[in-house]
């Protein structure tokens, strides 16, 4: 029999510590839509998405109501569009039409974002991949809900520097195309190394090519719950600290698992994975940076930050893995700049720099996420930052990514506001020494040796 | 059996339990267990009930329950038991 204190604990987490299920994401394969006729392809894509996800939002809302747990986002990810559009698209503008079909389908189903306007190019690019990337400035500014990702590197293949260089250029163009909002369209685009096929989180979600026809993936959150639990063990040893994080991650993940199984059953779509990530929001008390402070740092970025984050990331996984039957996606702690009030404060105080963030990405689950950089940063410098991040992922066999926002018209000391869950970001200083001779070399960086790990 | 956990929190007044129980009976929901405390004038009740025979849709039932709470100046939540089970039981 459930005890009163257990009910109170759960409801306290939901009401006061921002416990929520961050997203139910339905992955949909679009391979059966492929046809060389572009307008038929757009129709097929629209119909497949709207048919498959017709009940997604309602089901999410029903589950949320019945269990009393907020389910913040309902989203869709689709097969990488560079593959789906390969036989029908002859120019970048053709891909934009596909993006618009995705956008319309997302609006019809009521989801807030749709991912999968993506290309997988860790080793080489097809003409179709290139056209999709070149279409991004138009695609991301002429749609509201479409998110895009490019996987440009992996541990097995190395780093496709041609793609990284092209993306440096494209990120600048996307920023310029959305200059009225200081480059905000860039927040709908992410560049990956070792991208997971089953990530439910945006902007990087796409439906992997090895997945089934449809799948339900769920992303859980709960930085506030971990922070509150750690307040009770101040000054205790590392084993007590780790045990507390594990137990909390376990409880949070169990909720995600329950929601995932229930959504899968009601929608009659196979359950894929639970992504057990600590995903912060700009809400006060929902911050990963605050957890780092609770562990014992004056501010995120202080010496010890990387170690504290490594510990946090590992314990979240250890606690969560036991709570879920299938764990996947990005699982770990997210450290976005703009979506975490503690992180924003740390940037404003000068305690965290882009270089320290880069070091932190070696031990957390993502990369340089939602980081605003000066609008006049060159495309070569952006490619250089991207290459560094890809190298960290490639050598360490982990996912890394960049989601940079060149804040057009703004410089260090200014702040870009994105609104809602995306928060606002102080523009960070970027090392301005030139790397163009490096990033302009054609070709790719070979895959790293997997032995002699020093 | 579809067990739900109903929690009622708010300032204590006359007839809170009576009103909630009457609403449950009207909707064919069977009460399995009740525990209740009052601390500092604040009423805190937890109820386990079987909602498998509920006579209206689940959504309507919960809406009505919340409204009943508002009329008495208390906050009522109704959640399926599984969320607590999955979080607190291995």
pLDDT single digits (tens) A253-295: 999 999 999 999 999 999 999 998 898 988 888 899 999 999 9
How close does chain B come to A68, measured CA to CA in Å?
5
Q: Which residues of B touch A11 (CB under 8 A)?
A: 7, 77
Q: Under DSSP, is residue B77 helix (H, G, I), strand (E, B) or coil?
A: strand
Identify any residues that bridge with A76 across adjacent strands, giving them in sequence order.
A26, A114
Interchain proximity B58–A258, CB inside 8 Å = no
Is B39's Cβ below 8 Å from some Cβ in A? Answer: no
Per-residue pLDDT band for A332 (boundaries 50, 70, 90) equals confident
Interchain proximity A6–B88, CB inside 8 Å = yes
Model confidence over B56-65: pLDDT tens digits? Answer: 988 899 999 9
- Every domain of chain A with CATH number 3.20.70.20 lies at 25-193, 220-445
User: Could you say which of A1, A62, A68 has the minimum Cβ distance to residue B77?
Assistant: A68
Interchain proximity A10–B88, CB inside 8 Å = yes
User: Could you say which of A11, A62, A251 has the minimum Cβ distance to residue B7?
Assistant: A11
Q: Under DSSP, is residue A349 helix (H, G, I), strand (E, B) or coil?
A: helix
User: Could you say which of A2, A65, A69 has the minimum Cβ distance to residue B81?
Assistant: A2
Query: Nearest Cα to B62, choosing from B21, B25, B27?
Result: B27
Torsion angle of the four alpha carbons A199, A205, A210, A214, in this order, in degrees rounded to the nearest 10: 90
How close does chain B come to A48, measured CA to CA in Å?
30
Top-confidence residue, A450 or A270: A270
Model confidence over A388-422: pLDDT tens digits? Answer: 999 999 999 999 999 999 999 999 999 998 877 77
Strand order in the sheet with B74-80: B30-39, B42-50, B3-11, B74-80
HSE at residue A406, side-chain half, CA atoms within 13 A, is 24
Q: Which residues of A touch B46 (CB under 8 A)?
A: 4, 7
B contact test, residue of A68, A218, A259 with most B CBs within 10 A: A68
pLDDT recorded at residue A96: 97
Model confidence over A46-78: pLDDT tens digits? Answer: 999 999 999 999 999 999 999 999 999 999 999
pLDDT over 70, % of chain A: 100
Q: Of A210-219, A299-308, A309-318, B33-42, which gets the smallest average pLDDT?
A: B33-42
Size of interface A-B (CB pairs under 8 A): 53
Interchain proximity A258–B83, CB inside 8 Å = yes
pLDDT over 90, % of chain A: 85
Model confidence over B2-21: pLDDT tens digits? Answer: 899 999 999 999 999 999 99
Per-residue pLDDT band for A452 (boundaries 50, 70, 90) equals confident
Interchain proximity A68–B59, CB inside 8 Å = no
ipTM reported for the complex, 2 dp: 0.89
How close does chain A come to B36, measured CA to CA in Å?
9
How close does chain A come to B40, measured CA to CA in Å?
17
Vertex A99, ends A97 and A103: CA angle to 5°? 115
Interchain proximity A251–B88, CB inside 8 Å = yes
Integer Cα distance of A99 and A25 in angstroms: 18
pLDDT recorded at residue A105: 97
Q: How buried is A306 (Cβ within 10 angstroms: 0-12 exposed, 13-18 middle, 19+ buried)?
A: middle
Q: Which residues contact A437 (CB under 8 A, 6 or more apart)?
A: none
Top-confidence residue, A112 or A423: A112
In which residue are the tokens 């190394």 written?
A: A193
Strand pairing report for B42-50 and A271-278 = unpaired
Number of domains forming the structure of chain B: 1
Mean pLDDT over residues A123-130, rounded?
Answer: 96
Is B84's Cβ below 8 Å from some Cβ in A? Answer: yes
Model confidence over A207-251: pLDDT tens digits? Answer: 999 999 999 999 998 899 999 999 999 999 999 999 999 999 999
Q: Under DSSP, is residue A387 helix (H, G, I), strand (E, B) or coil?
A: helix
Q: How buried is A397 (Cβ within 10 angstroms: 0-12 exposed, 13-18 middle, 19+ buried)?
A: middle
Q: Alpha carbon of A439 to those of A3, A166, A388, B50: distances in Å?
A: 61, 10, 11, 65
How close does chain A come to B14, measured CA to CA in Å?
23
The CATH number, out of the four listed (2.40.50.140, 3.20.70.20, 1.10.3470.10, 3.40.50.300), of the domain defined by the range A25-193: 3.20.70.20
Cβ-contact A116, A151 below 8 angstroms: no
Q: Which residues contact A232 (CB under 8 A, 6 or more apart)?
A: A244
Which regions of A378-442 does DSSP assign to beta strands (E)? 400-407, 415-417, 424-426
Read off the DSSP letter of residue A211: S
Model confidence over A93-118: pLDDT tens digits? Answer: 999 999 999 999 999 999 999 999 99
HSE at residue A232, side-chain half, CA atoms within 13 A, is 10
Integer Cα distance of A296 and A112 in angstroms: 37
Q: Which residues of B touch A3 (CB under 8 A)?
A: 88
DSSP string, A221-263: --HHHHHHHHHTTTT--HHHHHHHHHHHHHHHHHHHHHHHHHH
Q: Supply the Cα-derived Rg of chain A in whole angstroms.
A: 21
Identify any residues that bridge with A120 across adjacent strands, giving them in sequence order.
A151
Model confidence over A155-206: pLDDT tens digits? Answer: 999 999 999 999 999 999 999 999 999 999 999 999 999 999 999 999 999 9
pTM for this model (two decimals):
0.93
pLDDT recorded at residue A453: 77
Q: Under DSSP, is residue A286 helix (H, G, I), strand (E, B) or coil?
A: coil
Model confidence over B21-54: pLDDT tens digits? Answer: 999 999 999 999 999 998 888 889 999 999 999 9
Give the range of the structural domain holding residue B35, as residue numbers without chain letter. 3-88
How close does chain A come to B77, measured CA to CA in Å?
8
Q: Look up the CATH architecture of domain A220-445.
A: Alpha-Beta Barrel (3.20)
Q: Which residues of B touch A325 (CB under 8 A)?
A: none
HSE at residue B71, side-chain half, CA atoms within 13 A, is 13
Q: Which residues contact A221 (CB under 8 A, 6 or more apart)?
A: A18, A19, A20, A21, A22, A72, A252, A277, A278, A279, A280, A281, A286
Is B79's Cβ below 8 Å from some Cβ in A? Answer: yes
- For residue B47, the domain's CATH number is 3.30.70.260
Q: Is the pLDDT of residue A454 over 80?
A: no
For residue A105, say if its preceding peptide bond is cis, omega within 30 degrees of 0. Answer: no
Query: Nearest Cα to A225, choosing from A265, A253, A266, A185?
Result: A253
Interchain proximity B84–A2, CB inside 8 Å = yes
Query: Nearest Cα to A70, choosing from A107, A15, A26, A109?
Result: A15
pLDDT recorded at residue A4: 86
Strand pairing report for A113-120 and A146-154 = parallel
User: Could you say which of A11, A62, A258 has the minimum Cβ distance to residue B86?
Assistant: A258
Cβ-contact A366, A400 below 8 angstroms: yes
Q: Which residues of A touch B58 (CB under 8 A)?
A: 66
């Amino acid at each position: 029999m459930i005890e009163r204190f257990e009910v109170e604990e759960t409801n306290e987490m939901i009401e006061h510590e921002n416990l929520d299920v961050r997203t139910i994401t339905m992955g949909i394969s679009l391979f059966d839509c492929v046809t060389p006729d572009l307008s038929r392809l757009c129709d097929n894509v629209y119909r497949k998405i709207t048919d498959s996800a017709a009940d997604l939002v309602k089901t999410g809302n029903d589950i949320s109501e019945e269990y009393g747990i907020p389910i913040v986002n309902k989203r869709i990810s689709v097969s990488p569009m560079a593959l789906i559009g390969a036989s029908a698209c002859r120019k970048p503008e053709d891909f934009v039409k596909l993006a618009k079909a995705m956008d319309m389908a997302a609006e019809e189903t009521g989801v807030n974002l749709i991912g999968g306007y993506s290309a997988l190019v860790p080793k080489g690019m097809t003409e179709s991949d290139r056209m999709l990337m070149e279409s991004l400035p138009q695609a991301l500014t002429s749609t509201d809900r479409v998110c895009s990702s490019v996987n440009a590197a992996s541990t097995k293949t190395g780093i496709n520097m041609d793609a990284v260089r092209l993306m440096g250029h494209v990120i600048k163009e996307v920023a310029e195309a959305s200059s009225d909002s200081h480059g905000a369209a860039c927040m709908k685009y992410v560049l990956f190394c070792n991208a997971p096929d089953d990530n439910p989180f945006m902007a990087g979600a796409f439906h992997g090519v090895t997945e089934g026809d449809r799948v339900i993936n769920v992303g859980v959150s709960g930085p506030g719950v971990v922070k509150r639990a750690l307040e009770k063990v101040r000054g205790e040893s590392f084993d007590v600290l780790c045990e507390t994080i594990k137990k909390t991650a376990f409880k949070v993940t169990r909720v995600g698992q329950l929601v995932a199984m229930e959504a899968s059953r009601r929608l009659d779509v196979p359950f894929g994975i639970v992504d057990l990530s600590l995903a912060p929001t700009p809400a006060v008390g929902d911050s990963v940076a605050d957890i780092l402070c609770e562990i014992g740092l004056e501010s995120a970025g202080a010496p010890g930050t990387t170690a504290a984050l490594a510990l946090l990331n590992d314990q979240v996984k250890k606690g969560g893995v036991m709570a879920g039957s299938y764990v996947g996606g990005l699982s770990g702690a997210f450290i976005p700049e703009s979506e975490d009030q503690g992180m924003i404060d740390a940037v404003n105080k000068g305690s965290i720099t882009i270089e320290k963030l880069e070091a932190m990405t070696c031990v957390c689950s993502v990369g340089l996420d939602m980081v605003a950089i000066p609008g006049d940063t060159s495309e070569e410098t952006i490619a250089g930052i991207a290459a560094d991040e890809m190298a960290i992922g490639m050598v360490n066999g982990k996912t890394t990514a960049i989601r940079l926002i060149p804040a057009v018209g703004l410089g260090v000391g200014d702040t870009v506001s994105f609104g809602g869950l995306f928060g606002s970001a102080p523009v960070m200083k970027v090392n301005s020494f030139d790397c163009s001779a490096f990033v302009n070399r054609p070709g790719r960086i070979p895959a790293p040796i997997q032995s002699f790990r020093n | 059996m579809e067990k739900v956990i109903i929690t009622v929190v708010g300032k204590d007044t006359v007839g809170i339990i009576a009103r909630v129980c009457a609403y449950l009976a009207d909707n064919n929901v069977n009460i399995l267990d009740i525990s209740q405390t009052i601390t500092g004038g604040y009423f805190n009740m937890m109820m386990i009930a079987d909602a498998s025979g509920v006579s209206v849709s689940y959504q309507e039932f919960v809406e009505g329950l919340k409204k009943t709470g508002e009329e008495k100046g208390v906050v009522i939540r109704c959640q399926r038991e599984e969320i607590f089970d999955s979080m607190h039981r291995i």
